[in-house]
Copies of this chain bind each other. A is one copy, B any other.
Amino acid sequence: MAWDVEGTKRRIYEAALSEFAEHGPDGTTVDRIAKRAQINRERVYNYYGDKSKLFSAVIRSELDKIAAAVPLVITCAADVGEFAGRTFDYQRAHPDLARLVLWEGLSDTGSVSDEIVRTELYAGKAKAVAAAQQAALIDDTLDPAHLIFLVIALSSYWSAAPQIARMLSGSDVRDSAEAAHRRAAVVHAARQIAAPRRAGTRHPDGTTTTG
């Protein structure tokens, strides 16, 4: 088996994922990707076009994976916590993803590759939230999109800004006790945000009404 096209592509992909996550689109060199994948630089161009296309391919595929791995089904507020916890777990298991998203955000110049497809994907999640809100399963104070976003933020920022997490908590994600502790905090916070109000409803502008 001298030719292993799929294997070669996969190795390029994996090497690219690591390199991009570590150094970002600008800091990454095609040569290092090739070295890491143990193939010739030219193969990269042959299979993926150029560096930016490779970056797009990687980020898109990784986002597809997380979307598939962490579905969102809501029957109660605790489900939102569960979603947050699983997102947290996924981020921890795939620290490269959080960094990719950040690199993408920093390079953001008004729009992003596959923006339309990805928008649809988020719209689906927002729809699930909206449905749960209408069924009064969860708090309906927040805009569904904002609620989703905030929950993702809670789960993702740990790996997005590890230096802040480290300075605050004093320890490292690699400490699994600390990781469990963090996860619990994320789940708890997400539940609190989603929990339906009991007596009165506190609106985002600070006023409170009774329903």
A interface residues with partner B (beta carbon < 8 Å): 23-24, 26-27, 78, 99, 101-108, 111-112, 115, 118-119, 122, 126, 141-143, 145-150, 152-154, 156-158, 160-165, 167-170, 181-182, 184-189, 191-193, 195, 198, 202-206
Residue of B at shortest CB range from A118?
B167
Bound-state CA distance A170–B149 (Å) is 12
What chain B residues lie within 8 Å of A107 (beta carbons)? 27
Taking the closest CB of chain B, its distance from the CB of A121, in whole angstroms, is 8
Cβ–Cβ contact B161 & A156, under 8 A: yes
Cβ–Cβ contact B112 & A106, under 8 A: no
Bound-state CA distance A162–B104 (Å) is 9
**Known interface pairs A157-B157, A169-B145; A150-B185 also in contact (CB < 8 Å):** yes
Cβ–Cβ contact A143 & B105, under 8 A: no
Determine the main DSSP class of A at the interface with B. Answer: helix
Taking the closest CB of chain B, its distance from the CB of A137, in whole angstroms, is 16
The contact of A103 among B106, B162, B168, B195, by CB within 8 Å, is B106
The contact of A102 among B23, B158, B161, by CB within 8 Å, is B161
Taking the closest CB of chain B, its distance from the CB of A183, in whole angstroms, is 8
Cβ–Cβ contact B122 & A168, under 8 A: yes
Cβ–Cβ contact B205 & A163, under 8 A: no
Bound-state CA distance A118–B169 (Å) is 12
